[in-house]
Amino acid sequence: MAKRSYGSEELSAIERWLEANDDSKSELLVKDLAAEVRESFNALHVLPTNSAMGALHLPLQLIGVGPGDEVIVDPIVTFAGMAVMYQNAVPVFADIETDTFNISSSSIRERITERTRAIICTHHFGSACSMNEIKAVAKEFKLIVIEDCAHALWSTYNGTYAGLCGDFAAFSFNHRKQLSTGQGGFLIVNNPAYVETLNSRAFGRIPGSLSWNYQMSGIVAAVALAQWPRVTGYIEQDKAYAKLYTDAVGNSPLLIPQRIPKENVSTYHIWGALFRGDDYGVSYESFMERLKGFGGDYFLPSFIPTGTFGLSPSPVYKYPIFREPIAYGKGCPVRCPLYKGRYNTSDGICPNAEYVVPRLLNTVLSPLQPDRMSRYVDALRKTIRYYSS
């Protein structure tokens, strides 16, 4: 991500929050942010949240997902599957496309059962999933579609912003995202049937029904409001950085950058590529060692889910949180008496993901000074040349 700029606007916004806090009106800034985002997206309803994780979980509450239900998720990141288990429901992993790294609509179709309630599709690295195909499957089986847009603020699909294709969409203001407030995010609700339900579950002294408090704080909203006008500039710089990496790879067969379909505009939260060196006698380990030796220490060996450093990169269903899915320590969700399905995390269920994930090379386009960015691009170019000579 481009180097972010913080200054007097953020400080003035925080002062505004502090002053409003004296008369309990500080949370009005949250409403201001919701209005700003809603107008920018031309969205039906926007709810600022304390995290993207909260924004992923809320839709599952709203549609009534619970014990015995299944939700289809992708196998690269943990967050969708975790959100499902928060509701004591069962995540079902669909495979990905080997070139876009996004969930496959045909694999989604294969995973649907009478217990399926929703699909969560993650727009990996900033490039949108094949939403027309996914929505067609969802419509056929009367399923809710939730977009995980944590990587994809202002990405587009067929000219439509990511987040406006499904019934719900979760966005992130995490410290490395396109707009950063340290933590935070927002939920877009596109399905009018759930706007009133969301409002009735607003957390208060006596909420209308059992609910989770994912409200954004006023001070976070203050920073987000000041940053909102700048985010498109950050994204344009990210796109330029991503092009530098892609140009450094050139026509080398060793690395195949993520394919961005012609109908997509990616905002490149992450630049990623599939390592194919093993087809040409170059090991992944030796390539990464050479890359770091040239100064490319900012590249990550594969997309390793949070909390699993030290484990071999693999689809998330191979990690204990999903292989032994005990959401709250009582045997749920898969050993719940209400669940009548067969939970499957065996090797081979997502062959494309099992091929791709251990071979991914990626780098977050986080706030870098131009000289550091130049060093990483140069390291990648030198590594490619080393193995091409």
Summarize pLDDT for 24-82 with one digit per residue, the tens. 565 788 999 999 999 999 999 999 999 999 999 999 999 999 999 999 999 999 999 99
Q: For 105-132, what is the mean pLDDT?
A: 98
Mean pLDDT for the chain?
A: 89
Of the CA atoms within 13 Å of residue 51, those in its CB half-sphere come to 9
Q: For 143-152, what is the mean pLDDT?
A: 97
In this predicted structure, what is the pLDDT of residue 364? 84
| Residue carrying the six token digits 């975790």 | 82
Q: Is the pLDDT of residue 181 over 60?
A: yes
Q: Which residues contact 55 (CB under 8 A, 6 or more apart)?
A: 47, 49, 170, 171, 185, 186, 187, 214
- DSSP assignment of 231-250 equals HHHHHHHHHHHHHHHHHHHT
- Secondary element (H or E) of residue 274: strand 270-275
Q: For 302-326, what is the mean pLDDT?
A: 74
The domain 232-308+353-388 is placed in CATH, from the list 3.90.1150.10, 3.40.1210.10, 3.30.360.10, 3.90.1010.10, at 3.90.1150.10
Q: How far apart are CA 340 and CA 343, in angstroms?
A: 9
In this predicted structure, what is the pLDDT of residue 209? 73
Q: Which residues contact 137 (CB under 8 A, 6 or more apart)?
A: 105, 108, 109, 112, 119, 143
Q: Is the pLDDT of residue 387 over 60?
A: yes
pLDDT band at residue 306, thresholds of 50, 70 and 90? Answer: very low
- Looking at per-residue pLDDT, the higher value among 327 and 251 belongs to 251
User: Of 133-147, 149-163, 326-340, where does mean pLDDT reach its minimum?
Assistant: 326-340
Q: Is the pLDDT of residue 270 over 50?
A: yes
Contact 65, 91 (CB under 8 A): no
DSSP, collapsed to helix, strand or coil, labels residue 124 as helix
- Encoded tokens for 293: 């030796």
> Which CATH architecture describes the domain 8-230?
3-Layer(aba) Sandwich (3.40)
- Encoded tokens for 208: 């209308």
> What ranges in 95-217 are assigned the alpha helix state H?
105-111, 131-141, 195-200
Domain ranges of the chain: 8-230, 232-308+353-388
For 194-247, how does the pLDDT look when each residue is reduced to its tens digit (9 = 90+)?
998 887 766 556 666 777 889 898 889 989 999 999 999 999 999 999 999 999
pTM: 0.93
> What ranges in the chain are assigned the alpha helix state H?
8-21, 28-41, 52-62, 79-86, 105-111, 131-141, 195-200, 218-227, 231-249, 284-293, 320-323, 351-356, 370-388
Q: How far apart are CA 91 and CA 53, in angstroms?
A: 15
